[in-house]
Chain A
Amino acid sequence: MLPIVLLSVFGIVMLFLGFMKSRAVLLPAALLFLLVALGTSFLDWGHSYLYFRDMLLVNNQTILFSAITMLSAFMVIALSGDFLQDEAAQPAEYYAIMLFSIVGAIMMIGFENLIMLFVGVEILSVSMYVLTGSDKKNIRSNEAALKYFLMGAFATGIMLFGMALLYGAVGSFTITDITAFVSLSRGGISLLLLMGLMLVLIGMLFKVSAAPFHFWTPDVYDGAPTLFTAFMSTVVKTAGFAALLRLLMAVSATSMYDRWWQIVAGITVLTLLAGNLTAVYQNSFKRMMAYSSISHAGYLLIALAALGQQSNGALAFYSLAYSVATIAAFGILLLVAKQRGKDGQRDETYEAFNGLAKQNPLLAFILAVSMLSLAGIPLTAGFWGKFMVFSTAVEKGMVWMLVVAVLMSAVGIYYYFRVVIAMYFRTGEVTAIRVAPFYRIVLIVATVLTIVLGLAPGLVQGLI
Chain B
Amino acid sequence: MLTLSLILFPVVAALLVLAVRGQQTKQLAFAAALIELGLAAYAFLNFRADTSSQFGFDYPWLVNAGIRFSAGIDGVSILLVVLTGLLTPLIVLSAFQRNYDRPNVFFALILFMQAALMGVFTARDAFLFYLFFEAALIPIYFLAALWGGEDRIRVTFKFFLYTIFGSLFMLVALVYLYFQTPGSHSAAIVDLYNLKLTPEAQGWIFWAFFIAFAIKMPVFPFHTWQPDTYTESPTQATMLLAGIMLKMGVYGVIRLLLPIAPAGVDIWGSTAIVLSVIGIVYGSIIAIRQRDIKRLIAYSSFAHVGLMAAGVFSQTTNGVQGALVQMLAHGINVVGMFFVADVIMSRTQTRLIDQMGGITQHTPKLTVYFMIILLGSVALPLTNGFVGEFLLLSGVFQYNPVLGAVAGTTIILGAVYMLRLFQKTMFGKKTELTETFTDVAGSENWVLIPLCIMVLWIGVVPNAFLKVTEPAVTSLLQIINQ
* A→B interface (CB under 8 Å): 313, 372, 377-379, 383-384, 387, 390-391, 394-395, 399, 402-403, 406-407, 409-410, 413-414, 417, 421, 424-426, 456-458, 461-462
Contacts and interface: CB of A to CB of B under 8 A. Distances in A.
Interface in B18-61: 60-61
Nearest to A377: B134
Interface string B153-167: 100010011001100
A395 B164 CA distance: 24
B131 A379 contact: yes
B65 A461 contact: yes
Contact of A410 (B62, B153, B161): B161
Given A378-B130, A394-B176, A399-B172, A461 B161 contact: no
A379 B138 CA distance: 10
Given A377-B134, A425-B145, A462 B64 contact: yes
B282 to A, nearest CB: 27
A384 B127 CA distance: 11
Contacts of A394: 175-176, 178-179
B268 interface: no
27 contacts: A313-B64, A372-B138, A377-B134, A383-B134, A384-B62, A390-B175, A391-B65, A391-B175, A395-B179, A402-B175, A406-B168, A406-B171, A410-B164, A410-B165, A417-B157, A421-B145, A424-B142, A424-B145, A425-B145, A425-B146, A425-B152, A456-B61, A458-B60, A458-B61, A458-B62, A461-B64, A462-B64
Contact of A403 (B134, B164, B172): B172
Given A378-B131, A414-B161, A425-B145, A457 B168 contact: no
A372 B164 CA distance: 12
A379 B165 contact: no
Contacts of A461: 62-65
B135 interface: yes
A167 to B, nearest CB: 38
Interface of B: 60-65, 127, 130-132, 134-135, 138, 142, 145-146, 152-153, 157, 160-161, 164-165, 168-169, 171-172, 175-176, 178-179
A319 B420 CA distance: 59
Given A456-B61, A462-B64, 9 more contacts: A424-B145, A424-B146, A425-B145, A425-B153, A457-B61, A458-B62, A458-B63, A461-B63, A462-B63
Given A461-B62, A461-B65, A421 B157 contact: yes
Nearest to A424: B146
Nearest to B127: A387
B447 to A, nearest CB: 28
Given A378-B134, A424-B145, A402 B172 contact: yes
Contacts of A399: 172, 176
A391 B64 CA distance: 13
A372 B142 CA distance: 13
B470 to A, nearest CB: 33
A26 B171 CA distance: 48
Given A387-B175, A394-B176, A410 B168 contact: yes
Contacts of B134: 377-378, 383
Contacts of B153: 421, 425-426
Nearest to B166: A410
Given A425-B152, A462-B63, A377 B175 contact: no
A413 B137 CA distance: 13
Output the residue of B127, B142, B168 with the most chain A CB within 10 A.
Answer: B168
Nearest to A386: B171
Contacts of B62: 384, 457-458, 461
A422 B268 CA distance: 42
A424 B148 CA distance: 12
Nearest to A309: B64
B162 to A, nearest CB: 10
A406 B165 CA distance: 8
Contacts of B175: 387, 390-391, 394, 402
A379 to B, nearest CB: 5
A367 B146 CA distance: 17
Output the residue of B62, B132, B134, B146 with the most chain A CB within 10 A.
Answer: B62
A462 B61 CA distance: 11
A458 B60 CA distance: 9
A409 B168 contact: yes
B164 to A, nearest CB: 6
Contacts of A410: 161, 164-165, 168
Output the residue of A394, A395, A407, A409 with the most chain B CB within 10 A.
Answer: A394
A390 B168 CA distance: 12
B164 A413 contact: yes
Given A413-B161, A458-B61, A461-B65, A391 B179 contact: yes
Contacts of A379: 131, 135
Output the residue of B65, B134, B152 with the most chain A CB within 10 A.
Answer: B65
A403 B171 CA distance: 10
A410 B175 CA distance: 17
Contacts of A413: 160-161, 164
Contacts of A409: 168
A399 B60 CA distance: 27
Contacts of A402: 172, 175-176
Contacts of B152: 425
Nearest to B179: A394
Task: Return the 3 tightest CB-CB contacts between A and B, nearest first.
Answer: A378-B134, A378-B131, A410-B165
A129 to B, nearest CB: 39
A399 to B, nearest CB: 6
A84 to B, nearest CB: 35
A403 B175 CA distance: 11
Output the residue of A409, A410, A457, A461 with the most chain B CB within 10 A.
Answer: A410
B64 A417 contact: no
A462 B146 CA distance: 39
B135 A378 contact: yes
B380 to A, nearest CB: 41
A369 to B, nearest CB: 10
Contact of A406 (B135, B145, B161, B172): B172
Contacts of A417: 157, 160-161
A403 B134 CA distance: 18
Nearest to A393: B175
Nearest to B128: A378
Contacts of B138: 372, 377
A399 B204 CA distance: 11
A401 to B, nearest CB: 11
Nearest to A410: B165
Nearest to A408: B168
A402 B65 CA distance: 18
Contacts of A313: 64
